[in-house]
Structure 1
């Protein structure tokens, strides 16, 4: 299993203001679903920030997102370890397959893999 990127998920009611502020630092908007936006560096696309008002498809908003190359294998590994699953493994309309798990600190981690079937942008 390999990690492709790690992204902080920041809850915010100021999505546009955050986009504009971090734009001053070189980030560009690469996804906007209205309730969640992703900003990325145009020269290093794995350098990203996510801002969301809430997670519209999950019971809680995650604290961070980790993209892996085989989300199904990671899901099986955390299940076997007895970790607390907050949201089961599911496909999303915007082209990701993901689940939420709590880490030992109580932080909610969104573990995802891209499915290549994005209908609304990237995630």
Structure 2
């Protein structure tokens, strides 16, 4: 299993204002589903930040997203370790397979893979 990217998720009700703010630092919108927006640096596309008003299908808003090449393997590792699964492994309508797990510090991590 390999990590493809890591993106901080900022919980905010000021999504559009955040786009403008981070735009001042050079970020540009690369994805917007209405409830989550991802901004990236045009010169370094892996430098990203997401702003979320809420999560569309999960009971909590994750603090961090980690994209992996094999989300099923990641799920098995986390489940077998005894880590708290906060949101079950599932396919989402926007083209990702994901689950949420709580880290030792209490943060919620969205572990995902694109289909």
Report the TM-score when normalising by structure 1. 0.90
1:99 matched to 2:65: no
2:75 match: 75
How far apart, in 2, do the equivalents of 1:71 and 1:32 lie? 23
Q: Show CA shifts across 1:23-49 (max 9, x none).
A: 111111111111110101122221110
Report the TM-score when normalising by structure 2. 0.96
What's the C-alpha RMSD, in Å, of the aligned pairs?
A: 0.8
The alignment of Structure 1 onto Structure 2 pairs a total of residues equal to 115
1:118 match: none
Q: Show CA shifts across 1:27-76 (max 9, x none).
A: 11111111110101122221110101111210100010001111110000
Unaligned runs of 5+ in 1: 116-123
Return structure 1 stretches of 4+ with deviation > 3 angstroms: none
Q: Show CA shifts across 1:60-116 (max 9, x none).
A: 00010001111110000001101000001111111111000000111100000111x
